[in-house]
Amino acid sequence: MSAPEEEPNVTGPAASQAVPEPPANNLYVLVKAVTNLPSAFTSFGVDAKGVVTSNPADHVFTYALQCEIPAKKQETASVSNEDAPTPREGEEAPEQADPNKPQTVYTFANGKFHCLDEDDVTLMKHAQQYFETNTKAEVPEAETTQKEPAGQTPSTVGPAGRSSAGAPGAAGSQRKPSTAPSRSQASGKTSPVEEEEPQDECDQLLNELCVNFLWAGMTAKEKKAAREREALEAASGAKAGAKDKGKKKTPKELQEEEERRKKEEEEKSQAGEGETEELIPPGQPASMCKLDVTQDGVLQLGELADNKMPLIFRFRRCLRPGVPAEWADVNEQRYRAEVRLDLDPFLEPGRTFHEYTVLLEPEFTDPSPEMTSPAGKGKQKPAKPKKGKTDLPPTLAVEEENVGPHPYVEAGTQIHLCLQFAKPMVYLPEHRPRPEFKPTDIIPRRIKPVRKPMDCVKAYSAELKSIVLALVEEWREQGGTTEGDQEKVKENFLTALQSKGLAASYKEKLKHCIIKIVKEKFSVKSDESQNTMMVFYNELYVYLLDLMHRTINDMFSRGAVALEPFEAEENKPESKWKRLAEEAEENGDFGTAAKYHQERLVHESEEPGVDLQTPWYEYGEFLVRARDPAKAEQSFKEAIAIDINNLPSLIAYGLLLLSKKLYAEAEVFLQAAVDVDVEAVLPWSCLGLFMEVAGEVEQDPYRQKERQKEAAYSYNQAKRLLHLKDPDSPGIYQYLAEFLLGLCFEQLADHCLTQEVNRVGKATISCMLLLGQLYYQQEHWEKAVVTLKQVLAQQKDNVKACLLLGDVYRKQKRIEEAADMYDKAIELQGEDVPGKVYVRLGRVQLELGRYDDARDNYLWGAKVWPCGLTWLGVGIAYYRLDDFAHAEQALNESNILDNLNPITWAYLCLRCLKAERPEEADFAFNQALKQNLRDPDLITEIGSEQMALGRVQLAVAAFRRSLKEEDRSSTHLLLANTLTQMRLFEEARAEYATVLALTESPNEQEEAMNQIKTIEQILA
């Protein structure tokens, strides 16, 4: 048996190479020029033969830039020598990365761009795109940069064919792509690398803007020779390409094409021949670099912008390619500088481009490790000059003293560059990140049912009513009166209708209704005889006139009230149930309020042309306050299904999901709310709250920072819109907390208030007031009292604090203090007191027995808020004051406005019993029981009144009904006394025994014992 083959041991960089992280953004750096360079940059030169000259045109210096993005701090992991990758032959072991040092992204020099962090880096496609400068130098067409194999140090060949490899301390010592055409280009074939990575729009942009600085260092003759050589290579490449593609050209055509190219190049060269002898100043040609910014880099750039910190570029002087290899610049460190670019302009939403002109800030410290060689070998020491045919110039050999102003400062050296982001750091609202799903993916649209069209007669009557109301309004505007010559008044009125065009418009409105009536109610053909048509016209006229009379008589049958041009909002059928629901909720009867909301949905669904999204939303809003989130969720979903752009429903449903910690679903609806109205404050505020809350529970650090960034952006949008509408508005957290408390999302409101206190550093009065409301809704009565008292201690005339403290006292059964707080609030408020405040004050005054004050406050409330609840309070106050006539009037008014209130029917029953109208009393009591009367005190009082009239059987029934609601000893005692009068002694003795078991009152105990003894004697 043969031994199993061992798997090969793969070591080296290829084994440890990690998959590169895809860029999250791209940063394009365009260096336009460096101006006002010190004289030392052009103090000497070197000609084509390598001889040092004093000609400034042969200057030897260029510059390099390096961009640094602060890196994320990482935990350093210890690696053993065995695990360390084996360095390649001729390479030194790489240094351990310092997690706290800035991250070197790219360095570019002489128009060449290369990354220093990775060994096997894919060099960017680069083109030698030359363009005119102030010297009007002509440039040839772009050449294609070829990528070198990993691990090799490619040489850079300029248009003149001079090698730049191995220049110490300059860009020639860095990894650079070759600028000479490759063999594949010369033959017209495409290299495998180019096939794998086709050019995109970004690469095309680079090919248009990137420039090789070597072109600036050539003489006019060298440029001319380079143009001729490039023309020949291009012609041969085109010939080979045409052959490969099967498109053959004749030798004559190729020769003509080549001559044409030469002629064009010669014309361009001759046009600028008089000025090309002067060299282009250093730094004039533009150079562009594309930086791939990772997700961490994007966050770091955002932090720099938010913290008002600059993005730093390192600037250094270096020797251009083509100088002798043994030369080195001993003053290289002295001419290092920083370029600080403010990123604040990129905080503007949608901003991706900004142009800078900044001064170079010299570095006077030791060189940083980032400015060393790309192999990471440490600092580059100046090489000692070797003996050769050229001597080291004094500028390179003599180290300048650090005395006086720095050359950059003295010359005022400036750099002109532009930054362009592929994606904005702060996106526009319409370009913000979106979730994967949309609301329609979760809640399908509800197809609206096809409603039956209105009957033609009803449509005609409705149109007539609207016209009559419009005529009445027009009559009033013209000061119509019934005095004077009525014929003259009528004539003037008709003339006014004709002159304004109202008569014609009214005819057009009625025309469509009459056509429907003719089609549905009459059978007539167009080819009928004239007599038949005359009969038809007469019948139609009589029919329409009769309909008009009936409609107008019905409108004016109720007197002057029917002359109102518009129906009162509270009298509309769709508003009746909403008003009743509000009254029931104010009375604390959430069950009845829910029933009224449901009735509203049923009735409005039958009305033609009524959209149900608003009733469903308001029902869901009520259910949230009633602590029924499951039904509230269904209500919001119904509203969204009917109208996918219903903004209140989208916000409320999103917040409900957020309170249930369903973050993915909540984001869908809150993002959709912003899309519906991008200029509204509330959607942006709620979206910012979601991003903030979701970011706190996010496990991924990058996603957490993204959430925080998006939260800040949403809040900034909300603040901008809020201050535009109200410059004196409070903070966005306070604005949001007030809205959330209105919807009873206490947990989210608590979060907002905490953030507001942390932002301001203390709890302001308005913030403390919201905290008091939060404690009230959470039923933390003592905390609410303490907080609201602190508010009143600082601001005694705070109406909201008085009202809220009165509500807290009422919940604590501290009725006297509640009444005082309500009285104080009304006194401070003046005339603009809400009707609900009068209702609450009247209620506590009834409990205190202050019936006169309760009557007055309820009457004020009826003026502000005329509803069944206020008139019921007026009737109860009059009844307790024994003013039965006024009590009956008020109770009847309350019953008209709300005939479903059992309390109103119960007090009407009491009034009828007082007036000895037993039949009416029985009817009212039956209606009260039908509407689910649950007040044991009121039922017991009705039983006592029945007993006073000698209606003992009805009294017993009332007492037993009261005991079902609440088991009280006093009610058992009344029932026992009634049974005794009915001579039902056994039942009466059992009720007295129950009284003895329940009561703690000595009087009731004594009365029950005496009655038991009496019954026993009777039975004995």
Dump pLDDT digits (tens) for 110-165: 333 333 233 222 222 232 232 233 223 333 333 333 333 333 322 222 222 333 33
Decide if 976 contacts 995 (C-beta within 8 A). yes
- Residue type at 974 in one-letter notation: L
**pLDDT at 39 (0 to 100):** 75
Q: Do the Cβ atoms of 714 and 426 come closer than 8 Å? A: no
Cα 514 from Cα 526, distance rounded (Å): 16
- CA torsion 176→179→184→186, rounded to 10°? -170
pLDDT score of 768: 93
- Identify the CA nearest to 32 among candidates 134, 120, 154: 134
User: Rounded to whole angstroms, how far apart are CA atoms 658 and 493?
Assistant: 62
- 878's enclosing H/E stretch is helix 868-880
In degrees, rounded to 5, the angle at the alpha carbon of residue 500 between the alpha carbons of residues 494 and 506 is 75
Q: Distance between CA atoms of 871 and 869, rounded to whole angstroms?
A: 6
List, in order, residues 6 or more apart from 786 with CB less than 8 Å away.
Answer: none
Q: In angstroms, how far is the first alpha carbon of the chain from the final one?
A: 119
Q: Answer left, alpha or beta for residue 78, where phi above 0 means left and psi between -120 and 50 means alpha.
A: beta
What is the structure's pLDDT at 198? Answer: 40
Q: Give the whole-angstrom CA distance, residue 121 versus residue 598.
A: 69
Three-state SS for 455? coil
Cβ contacts of 813 within 8 Å, gap of 6 or more: none
Q: What is the pLDDT of residues 920-967, one digit of tens each?
A: 999 999 999 999 899 999 999 999 999 999 999 999 999 999 999 999
pLDDT at position 962, please? Answer: 93
Token pair for residue 739?
């809205």
pLDDT at 82: 33
Tell me the DSSP string of 395-441: HHHSPPP--SS-HHHHHT-EEEEEEEESS-SS--GGGS---S--HHH
For the entire predicted model, the pTM comes to: 0.62
pLDDT at residue number 815: 93
Q: Spell out, as residue ranges, where the chain has pLDDT lower than 70.
A: 1-21, 42-59, 68-249, 265-288, 322, 364-395, 448-454, 479-485, 526-527, 557-574, 608-609, 724-728
Query: Residues 200, 255: contact at Cβ < 8 Å?
Result: no
What one-letter code names the amino acid at 136? Answer: K
Strand order in the sheet with 112-114: 112-114, 103-109, 61-69, 311-319, 337-341, 361-362
Residue located via tokens 């061992």: 6
> DSSP for 946-1000?
HHHTT-HHHHHHHHHHHHHH---HHHHHHHHHHHHHTT-HHHHHHHHHHHHHH--
Tell me which residue of 807, 773, 797 sits closest to 787, measured CA to CA. Answer: 773
- In 3D space, the residue among 685, 647, 691, 688 whose CA is nearest the CA of residue 669 turns out to be 647
State whether the Cα torsion 702-705-711-717 is positive or negative.
negative
> Hey, how many other C-beta atoms are within 10 angstroms of the C-beta on 731?
19
In a 13 Å sphere around the CA of 290, the CA atoms on its Cβ side amount to: 21
> Among residues 218, 180, 172, which one has the least CA distance to residue 373?
172
Kindly report the CA angle at 563 between 560 and 568, in degrees rounded to 5? 105
Main-chain phi, psi angles of 505, to 5 degrees: -65, -35
65: enclosing H helix or E strand: strand 61-69
Chain CA centroid to CA 16, Å: 44
Q: Which residues contact 902 (CB under 8 A, 6 or more apart)?
A: 927, 928, 929, 931, 932, 933, 934, 935
883 C-beta neighbours (distance < 10 Å), count: 16
Residue type, 234: A
Q: How far apart are CA 894 and CA 877, in angstroms?
A: 13
DSSP at 127: B
How many CA atoms are closer than 13 Å to the CA of 727, on its beta-carbon side?
0
Nearest to 641 by CA among 603, 612, 682: 612
950-960 b/e with 16+ CB inside 10 Å = b?
ebbebbbbbbe
- Asked if 687 and 674 count as a contact pair (C-beta separation under 8 A), the reply is yes
Rg of the chain over all Cα atoms, to the nearest angstrom: 46
What is the token pair recorded at 484?
A: 């004077």
